[in-house]
A and B are shown apart, each in its own frame.
Chain A
Amino acid sequence: MDMLRDIAGTEAREMRILFIELCGVFWIVAELVILFFVIEARRHLGRSPISAVPLWDRVSTRRALLFMLFALAALGAVVLRPLFWTPLSWRIQTGPLDVSAAAMLDFHAVLRHLTVWAAFVTVWVILEGAMVYQGYSAYRLFRKLVLAGGGGATRNSAGKTVGISPDGSSGGQGGQASLVVLLLLGAFLAAGIVAAPVFAAQALNAPAAKAVDSWEQVVQLSENGLYPYRNALYLYLRIAGVVWIGVEWIAAFVLWRAWRVVDHALRNGGGAS
């Protein structure tokens, strides 16, 4: 094999995968930041009386920051791991590789990428779902605040305050705990679903070695083995896409309603008086 061409080919493929996965990490981190603000907005709206300045709960803010750093480190490790685990381009530099071995390495590298991407998509759907859940709760509190006239708490028929405690935490804590459980369950389920093809692939035999002498033929050999996994994961991505679109439109509708409620409040309340 022409070693220079092989190295260039493998490096281009690895760089493309790295770039795509880094974009995925950016999207997840951005969604985590937005989710943090949505949860804080919901918590703020639950306080009675509403504070004129943002009140940061030190413990929960620190916890959120630590979670974000941990998530970033974990995602970084997932994305950058192939670079430190002797990628194919490095192996080729140490000497000519057997064609079937090269194809098998490429096969696993691409399958890992597809699996990671499916996991990222699942995480986005879960995060968007959590955002909509929290956002809708915040919207309901806000609407109640505007329509009922101040205070996030509601009273039941016996005149008892229900839902939100004066510091806005009691109703929220239950929601946060269930959200964390939901996130963890979703993450485990997603990990299980997306990991299944990879574990299955470990048992595969190497592609039959033929007289190939170019990087393109190695890729072709690898792609021949990849196509059932690729198609199955493509199908999973598009099904997840349907859920994702549904959640996104709910989020858009909730925000649109919030804007209309504010508009109504401003028209009736005098706005910048």
Chain B
Amino acid sequence: MTAPHWILWLSAHFSPEQYLFWTRWQCLSWTLADLLIVFCLIRLSNQARFVVQRSPHRFSYAVLGFTVLLLPFVIASPNGGLLFLLELGITVPHFLILCYLLTANVGVYAAFLCKVASVEKTDNGQ
């Protein structure tokens, strides 16, 4: 069977081995970015909760910590299947944390922003 020319050309420049190699490193890179995103959102949420005098999130940190433990296995994963499962174990908790923080703190964020705005206004003598 013959594939179209441009498919064959693309195919000649890439192999499954190269795919696995680059997937590992790309996976590591976007997972690190994800970790920073989730960490910053937990921090932001806790800052907002501090201002409106609510107790901070702690369990989210524990879940985030669990996903950090999986990170070294990403580089060591021997095949694409295991890499996918690892990525699943890392990103599903991340998405759940993000969705939980955003839904649980909707009112907190609004109250916090209002308070920050009023504090800044007072400071500026308005």
Contact A232 B34, beta carbon cutoff 8 Å: no
- Out of B16, B18, B119, which one reaches A270, CB within 8 Å? B119
Contact A145 B37, beta carbon cutoff 8 Å: no
**Interface residues of A: mostly helix, strand, loop or mixed?**
helix
Contact A269 B120, beta carbon cutoff 8 Å: yes
Contact A231 B92, beta carbon cutoff 8 Å: no
With A53-B107, A252-B33 already in contact, the answer to whether A33 and B99 are too (CB < 8 A) is yes
Which residues of chain A (229-252) have a CB below 8 Å from chain B?
A: 229-232, 234-238, 241-242, 244-245, 248-249, 251-252
A2-10, A22-30, A209-217: which lies at the interface:
A22-30
Interface status of B68 (Cβ within 8 A of chain A): no
Q: Which of A26, A31, A52, A273 has the most CB of B within 10 A?
A: A52
B7-15, B57-65, B69-77: which lies at the interface:
B7-15
Q: Which residues of A contact B43 (CB under 8 A)?
A: 259
Q: Which residues of B contact A52 (CB under 8 A)?
A: 110-111, 114-115
Footprint of B on A, CB under 8 Å?
20, 23, 26-27, 30-31, 33-34, 37, 41, 44-45, 49-54, 142, 145-151, 197, 200-201, 204-207, 224-225, 227-232, 234-238, 241-242, 244-245, 248-249, 251-252, 255-256, 258-259, 262-263, 265-266, 268-273
Footprint of A on B, CB under 8 Å?
1-4, 7-8, 10-16, 18-19, 22-23, 26, 29-30, 33-34, 36-37, 40-41, 43-44, 47-48, 50-53, 84, 88, 91-92, 95-96, 98-99, 102-103, 106-107, 109-111, 113-121, 123-124, 126
